Chains A and B, each alone.
Chain A
Amino acid sequence: MSLKIENLSYAYGDHMVLDKVNFTISPGGLTCILGANGVGKSTLFRCILRLNDNYSGHSYLNGFDSRELSIQELAKQIAYIPQSHAPAFNYKVIEIVLMSTTAQIGNFKGPGEKEKKVAMEALERVGMADFAEQGYTQISGGERQLVLIARALAQQTKLIIMDEPTSNLDYGNQIRVLSLVKQLTREGYTIIQSTHHPDQAFMYADEVVVLEKGNIVHHGSPKEIISEPMIRKIYNINVEINSLYDDLVRVTVPIDELTNR
């Protein structure tokens, strides 16, 4: 699934959040969106998902303007994974996953055996099949994030958008979730996620898009894009980027604390 954003602008009242954003994401691969708080990462996602419907410009999915699609048709193209949350009612894990099959079934129908099979396969894919009958509010935050990924898989789309998928997770779960995401891209999924960690982008991303004040300022591979001056510019801190294991991976170290010692 390719995604092409063309001259996309969005304003909350007088406040321009996105100003003529342009970029293209080719099928397959993990794209990380980097940017400081409030630069419009979430707004960009909301426009692509048409949760903010009155944007100007275009968002093309495989060449089709997503505005021409109904809500149901759009749901067959893009799945969305929110940050892990606690719903008002204690659904079973399997029921949470089944919810995403709604776009595939009739208006007055509930999911049947076919959808149940899809949902169970998705749970198996993320390693949560044993939790199917457990209460969603009784499992841990990391497990919930995996269930939400399974839900996106059960939606049977090729494009998945994740809003800071690791923000509420402990260190181990962050790594587990990101490795799973990476594996999914190898299986042909196109995944876009927002993140606040340059190191995550170095470790996992195929492409990085950097947003600043509603504009795309950089787009390319992590090693091309993420540099000490760039981080200083968008996050306003000084870092040193170190190359490890013959430049297999790079890590950023905030250095102000070190030089002040």
Chain B
Amino acid sequence: MNEKIQTSKIYFDSVIVGLTLILAVGFIISFMLGKYPIAPAELFSILASNVLPIDQTWTDQQAVILYHVRMPRIILSVLVGCCLSAAGAAYQGIFRNPLVSSDIVGASSGAAFGAALAILMAIGNLGISILAFVFSIGAVMAVGFLSKKVKTNPVLGLVLAGIMVGSLFNSATSFLKLVADPNEQLPAITYWLMGSFSGAKLEDIRLAIIPMAAGLIPLFLLRWKINILTMGDDEARTMGVDTKKTRAIIVIAATLVTAASIAVSGMIGWIGLVIPHLSRMLVGSDYRRLMPVSMLMGASFLLIVDNVSRLTTTSEIPIGILTSFIGAPFFFYLISREGEKF
């Protein structure tokens, strides 16, 4: 792509407008898609009846499906897509490595273990969120610490530490499945690990929205600083950035949104790797543009994939499986394109 175009303001503005339009249209269309048809006119009447006195032309069942089945699911997939992409972009910057995502730095496997533990202990949805975050941040810190031990090759160090910590938490999760009650808890953990929005409830949104906002806002506000952190700690400090503090805020924010997402949707992999890369191809590396574009694109992407997931087959495919089918080949493409950098 012509590099001059990529940094021009008009180009960036049109990318933002375009992605917002895609998201808005996708958002509205998603309400009408599903086994139980809701026509556009009915959709708007149901929504408008909240504020306007309109005679009921729809069945009560349609309103229930709209508010309690489709709406939570649509909003959650948008939020989770936005969060996982923003977190992936932030991790890539902080770890100075374009092949990083929440899966590689241990955030996902840590959160998965925490959530499985919470399901096993039957401590409710809030418990799932809290334990997911605690173990997620623990795993990221462990990976960060261990990767520094490989001094000569930071990329290798990070990947090795990620594999190590990830497999440790995955085994611990397997152990939890082993001791879980096979009638109730085991299927709950297993299905949840696959990643799905099929059981999304309005309550899930209420639970996740606060940590998501608490993480997304600093990631958005500090996006210029991420650029400077990618130059390495020494250079960033000489340019006036308090690296320790800034890095800590960004890692906590990224882990918070990852854990909040995983707590409500289960394991949805790859999106945090793929979306920032697609965004980078579109608007370049500068996080001032990359972060908002990743957020918008991730939201639309997961919304669309979730529609595919719930519409294609009668017994729906968990979305985590679909994102892997898309993500793994894309990762291969990345390695083959950027392989010479290693």
Contact = CB atoms under 8 A, between A and B. Distances in A.
A261 interface: no
B7 interface: yes
Contact of B286 (A50, A74, A79, A92): A92
A75 B228 CA distance: 13
A71 B242 contact: yes
B284 interface: yes
Contact of B238 (A78, A91, A111): A78
Contact of A90 (B234, B241, B285): B285
A102 B240 contact: yes
Contacts of B237: 49-51, 71, 75
Given A87-B231, A88-B96, A89-B98, A111 B224 contact: yes
Interface string B129-152: 000000000000000000000000
Interface in A105-158: 108-111, 133-135, 155
Contacts of A133: 3-4, 7
B221 interface: yes
Q: How large is the interface on A (under 10, 10 to 19, 20 to 34, 35 or more residues)?
A: 20 to 34
Given A88-B230, A89-B230, A133-B4, A75 B284 contact: no
Contacts of B4: 133
A84 B228 CA distance: 16
Given A75-B238, A133-B3, A99 B231 contact: yes
B247 interface: no
Contacts of A46: 234
> Of residues B6, B228, B285, which shows the largest number of chain A Cβ atoms within 10 Å of its Cβ?
B285
A72 interface: yes
B223 interface: yes
Contacts of A88: 96-98, 230
Contacts of B227: 91, 95, 99
A103 interface: yes
Nearest to B97: A88
A153 to B, nearest CB: 13
B3 A135 contact: yes
Contacts of A134: 3
B239 interface: yes
B225 interface: yes
B13 interface: no
Contact of A87 (B221, B222, B224, B230): B230
Interface in A59-98: 71-72, 74-76, 78-80, 82, 87-92, 94-95
A9 to B, nearest CB: 21
Interface residues of B, number: 30
A111 B222 CA distance: 12
A143 B64 CA distance: 64
Interface string B3-29: 110110000000000000000000000
Given A76-B240, A92-B3, A92-B7, A102 B97 contact: no
> Of residues A49, A72, A92, A155, which shows the largest number of chain B Cβ atoms within 10 Å of its Cβ?
A92
A100 interface: yes
Given A99-B228, A108-B221, A155 B235 contact: no
Contacts of A100: 239
A52 to B, nearest CB: 10
B288 interface: yes
Contacts of B284: 90-92, 95
B95 to A, nearest CB: 9
B228 A102 contact: yes
B247 to A, nearest CB: 13
A71 B96 CA distance: 22
Interface in B204-237: 221-225, 227-228, 230-231, 234-235, 237
Contacts of B228: 99, 102
8 contacts: A80-B235, A92-B285, A92-B286, A95-B286, A103-B240, A133-B4, A133-B7, A155-B239
Interface of A: 46, 49-51, 71-72, 74-76, 78-80, 82, 87-92, 94-95, 99-100, 102-103, 108-111, 133-135, 155
Given A49-B238, A78-B238, A91-B227, 15 more contacts: A51-B237, A51-B238, A71-B241, A72-B240, A76-B240, A80-B235, A82-B235, A89-B93, A91-B284, A92-B7, A95-B227, A102-B239, A133-B3, A133-B7, A134-B3
